[in-house]
Structure 1
């Protein structure tokens, strides 16, 4: 899998919509590399290599290596434009990183033991599928696990309930308690609440 996160790129000087259209016809993807107080660089990558790499979930939160005309540059993918109906990648934005500087990234969430939680009769509702984090590049996780084994009926887990890896902080929680987003809820099945209420009424009578 490691090779998928190393992509060859060429610097391009032929810019503009017409140039980008010609690149796509040649099965290449126009891209731009920026960040770390350096000048942006326009690039070209092979579409087949990018397409294969982006099929891996970790591609979007993994430190990537671009071989730019033979020079290795570490970066993160910041944006990807796709064709509205064709299975084609139209453009990529990469941002340079430095091992000593913290990065911001959206990391996918993996929900564990969802079948265990569902055995209570709960309807599991995912409120978010990724978490915005800040950390050094070496600490960037490919995904964050949320264990639902002990999730009770009617319970909601928030960001503050999620155990993040060492060195990783939540961007939302850094803004204050009011940004403690709901992550997942074990909703009671339809009709359950009314059935319980009916039982209570029968008992009262």
Structure 2
């Protein structure tokens, strides 16, 4: 997984006055948990741009000069009106200790089921996993180029020995749901056969068409 370096300074005071002064100066107060004791630091708000305003997941290297700490973002607070970053919590990473993280899902390709009138439902845009830091993936890439109407992709197809997905195997990640105007097509040959059969039925039973249509409704 890609890492972003955040250059900051360790905070000597963590009181309300000091915190307010940091924010007024354009800095974000932060805490790193998971070590022997919480580590308080601050950094320029612009330093978090590539970490916060992106759909990708990243690890973080907190650079405090003499100390460099590897971590992941655990929680973030925004101002309810201005959307400015108010506070960020990080969790320190250790090579031999598993960590829980939400990994984004990316869809690849175009589903034939959508072209035939079905509706694509993206059920899980992120998946929670547990893994060692060096085994964390950047994304879950899912190929939907073979999904027909009624098909779905579940967590079971994404299982990997490098990590544990913290959702039931039957959890649907993406599916193609039928709509009233959708046309279910299995393959080209079958589609041609269906069209031919419909043509014969129409020619031989013009007088019954209206009644049949009502019964199908």
Q: Which runs of 5+ in 2 are unaligned?
A: 184-208
How far does residue 53 in structure 1 lie from its aligned partner after superposition? 3.5
CA distance in 1, matches of 2:66, 2:88: 19
**8 Å CA contact 1:114, 1:124 repeated in 2:** no
The residue number in structure 2 matching 1:63 is: 59
CA distance in 1, matches of 2:116, 2:67: 55
CA distance in 1, matches of 2:171, 2:154: 5
CA distance in 2, matches of 1:85, 1:50: 19
Q: Per residue, is there more strand in 1 or in 2?
A: 1
CA distance in 1, matches of 2:98, 2:134: 9
The residue number in structure 1 matching 2:37 is: 39
CA distance in 2, matches of 1:123, 1:102: 37
Deviations 1:143-187 (A, max 9, x none): 1111111112022322113x24550220123xxx5xx32211201
**8 Å CA contact 1:117, 1:149 repeated in 2:** no
CA distance in 2, matches of 1:155, 1:115: 10
How far does residue 117 in structure 1 lie from its aligned partner after superposition? 4.2
The residue number in structure 1 matching 2:46 is: 48
Q: Return the TM-score normalized by structure 2.
A: 0.77
CA distance in 1, matches of 2:159, 2:81: 36
**8 Å CA contact 1:6, 1:66 repeated in 2:** yes
Q: Which runs of 5+ in 1 are unaligned?
A: 194-198
Deviations 1:65-113 (A, max 9, x none): 0012431111001011112231411110010011111111100000111
1:172 paired residue among 157, 167, 170 = 167
The number of residue pairs the alignment matches comes to 188
The residue number in structure 2 matching 1:73 is: 69
CA distance in 1, matches of 2:15, 2:62: 22
**8 Å CA contact 1:141, 1:165 repeated in 2:** no
RMSD (Å), alpha carbons: 2.5
**8 Å CA contact 1:51, 1:89 repeated in 2:** no
The residue number in structure 1 matching 2:212 is: 202
CA distance in 2, matches of 1:7, 1:104: 21
Please identify the structure whose Cα radius of gyration is greater. 2
